[in-house]
C-alpha cells in the first residue's frame, strides 16, 4: 500500500463508532451525496443479515478463506471485532484509486489505526451516540443481533469510545440530519486541504500570460 502513489486529490475517509451509534446510516447518506467516494466493501466472517447482499454490504467468507487471505497478505488491515473477523482488502483500495476520487471506510478503531499507520493522509471520523442508553435503544431497536451478540456489542462500546483521542473529528449523532450536516462538512473541508490543492496551485503558477 503506497501513499506516494496517491493522487493529492484522493480522499481516504474512515468512519468508526461503537456498534449502533449510526455510522452505517450516516455513511449511506454520504454514499448517495458523494458517489465519487467509493465505499470499501470489507470481508467478514460474520453471517449476513436478512437485508444484506454478498458483495454489496460485505464479502461474506468463511474463517479458513479469511485466514488464507491474511496469510497471503491480501488485507490492508484486519481485526477481530465483536467475535468475528473483518478486513479491508488491498484490492478495494486499489480499485478506488483507479475508479474514484476517494474511498469511504466503515471500519472499527483497530482498522482505522492500521490504515492511518500505512496511509498518513487518511481522515478519521468517530461517531458517538448522545448517551449510552440511547446506544442500547438503537441497537435493540435495529433488531439484527440476538441477545448475546447485543450484550457483547454494548459491553465493547466503552472500550471503543476510549479511543476517541485517535480521531480527527468526533460527531455526536443525536439528531440524524444535524449529524449528517457535520459529516458532509468534514468532506467539504477536507477537499480544501492545501495538499489536495497543490496541483491546482502549480497549474496556476505555470499559466502563461497569453492564457489569461
Ligand atoms: N440519529 C439517530 N436517531 C435515532 N436512531 C438512529 C439515529 N441514527 C441511526 N439510528 C438508528 O439506529 C440503529 C443503528 O444505526 P446503524 O445501523 O447506522 O449503526 P452502526 O453504527 O452502523 O452499527 P454497527 O456498527 O453495528 O453496524 C438503526 O436502526 C438506525 O436506523
Ligand atoms: N477493522 C475492521 N472493522 C470493520 C470492517 N468492516 C466492518 N468493520 C466494523 O465491524 C463492526 C461491526 O460491523 P457489523 O456490520 O457487524 O455491525 C463495526 O464497527 C464496523 O465498522 C473492516 O474491514 N475492518
Which numbered ligand comes closest to the C-alpha of 85?
A: 2
The alpha carbon of 84 is separated from its chain's Cα centroid by a whole number of angstroms, namely 18
Handedness of CA 136, 141, 147, 148 (dihedral sign): negative
Question: CB under 8 Å to 107, separation ≥6 — which residues?
Answer: 14, 16, 40, 42, 77, 79, 86, 88, 115
Give me the tens of pLDDT residue by residue for the chain, a chain 212 residues long.
654 444 578 999 999 999 999 999 999 999 999 999 999 999 999 999 999 999 999 999 999 999 999 999 999 999 999 999 999 999 999 999 999 999 999 999 999 999 999 999 999 999 999 999 999 999 999 999 999 999 999 999 999 999 999 999 999 999 999 999 999 999 999 999 988 888 889 999 999 877 65
Which of 111, 112, 139, 173 best tests ligand 2's pocket when mutated (most atoms within 8 Å of CB)? 111
Does residue 46 have its Cβ closer than 6 Å to ligand 2? Answer: yes
Tell me, what's the ipTM?
A: 0.98
Handedness of CA 39, 44, 46, 49 (dihedral sign): positive
Say how far apart CA 186 and CA 7 lie, in whole Å.
Answer: 19
Does residue 89 have its Cβ closer than 6 Å to ligand 2? Answer: no
CATH architecture classification, 3-40+102-211: 3-Layer(aba) Sandwich (3.40)
Give the per-residue pLDDT at 152: 97
Does residue 18 have its Cβ closer than 6 Å to ligand 2? Answer: no
- Using CA positions, which residue lies closest to atom 1 of ligand 1? 176
b/e string for 179-208 if b means 16 or more Cβ within 10 A? Answer: bbebbeebbeebeeeeebeeeeeeeeeeee
The C-alpha cell of 166 is what? Answer: 485517535
The domains of the chain are located at 3-40+102-211
Which numbered ligand comes closest to the C-alpha of 27?
A: 1
Does residue 176 have its Cβ closer than 6 Å to ligand 1? Answer: yes
Amino acid at each position: 500500500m503506497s501513499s506516494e502513489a496517491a493522487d493529492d486529490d484522493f480522499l481516504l475517509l474512515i468512519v468508526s463508532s461503537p456498534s449502533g451509534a449510526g455510522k452505517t446510516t450516516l455513511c449511506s447518506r454520504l454514499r448517495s451525496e458523494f458517489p465519487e467516494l467509493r465505499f470499501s466493501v470489507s470481508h467478514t466472517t460474520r453471517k449476513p443479515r436478512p437485508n444484506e447482499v454478498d458483495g454489496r454490504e460485505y464479502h461474506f467468507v468463511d474463517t479458513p478463506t479469511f485466514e488464507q487471505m491474511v496469510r497471503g497478505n491480501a488485507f490492508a488491515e484486519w481485526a477481530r471485532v465483536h467475535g468475528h473477523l473483518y478486513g479491508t482488502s488491498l484490492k478495494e483500495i486499489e480499485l478506488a484509486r483507479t475508479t474514484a476520487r476517494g474511498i469511504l471506510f466503515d471500519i472499527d478503531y483497530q482498522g482505522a489505526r492500521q490504515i492511518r499507520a500505512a496511509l498518513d493522509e487518511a481522515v478519521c471520523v468517530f461517531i458517538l451516540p448522545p448517551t449510552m442508553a440511547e446506544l442500547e435503544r438503537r441497537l435493540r431497536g435495529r433488531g439484527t443481533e440476538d441477545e448475546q451478540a447485543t450484550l457483547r456489542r454494548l459491553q465493547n462500546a466503552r472500550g471503543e469510545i476510549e479511543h476517541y483521542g485517535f480521531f480527527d473529528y468526533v460527531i455526536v449523532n443525536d439528531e440524524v440530519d444535524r449529524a449528517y450536516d457535520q459529516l458532509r462538512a468534514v468532506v467539504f473541508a477536507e477537499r480544501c486541504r492545501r495538499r489536495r490543492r497543490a496541483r491546482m496551485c502549480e497549474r496556476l503558477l505555470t499559466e502563461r500570460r497569453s492564457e489569461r
